[in-house]
């Protein structure tokens, strides 16, 4: 895709994209930089941001903004959705093909030409649920 878009594939670009492909945590640009700085000591945070911008333009990466101060980045090879922990901010992918029909319905009902859709589900991740349960147990013991 990068070659088709006329984008040169540098070692830094390859490493950033590879990191996004294998990373399931939807990292920030700073997290990507910190993960790769040992491999590329001369690479700057600006280089990471610039490459993420290139990846966004080619459609390989999506920028996720969910209310916190920093954007997170997601390698997007399939349509998927996100569930976000309201306590720790962890973002997990999930797939549900039935929601594609929502675009058709929205277009039909409103007359809009639909370009895309986004679904966010919020809740408490298993780790935070366990911590909450442990804290409740500790409170009972001290009472």
Sequence ranges of the binding site: 85, 88, 117, 125, 128
Which residues are known binding-site members for Zn(2+)? 85, 88, 125, 128
CB atoms near residue 136 (< 10 Å): 10
Please report, in range form, the residues annotated as the binding site for Fe cation. Answer: 117
- Whose tokens are 């594609």? That residue is 100
């Amino acid at each position: 895709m990068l070659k088709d878009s006329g984008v040169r594939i540098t070692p830094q670009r390859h490493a950033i994209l590879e990191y996004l492909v294998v990373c399931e945590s939807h990292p920030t640009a700073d997290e990507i930089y910190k993960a790769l700085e040992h491999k590329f000591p001369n690479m700057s945070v600006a280089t990471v941001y610039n490459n993420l911008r290139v990846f966004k333009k080619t459609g390989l990466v999506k920028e996720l903004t969910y209310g916190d101060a920093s954007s997170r980045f997601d390698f997007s090879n399939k349509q998927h959705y996100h569930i976000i922990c309201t306590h720790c901010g962890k973002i997990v992918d999930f797939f549900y093909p039935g929601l594609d029909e929502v675009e058709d319905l929205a277009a039909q009902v409103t007359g809009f030409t639909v370009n895309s859709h986004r679904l966010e589900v919020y809740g408490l991740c298993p780790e935070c649920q366990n911590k909450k349960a442990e804290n409740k147990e500790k409170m009972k013991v001290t009472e």
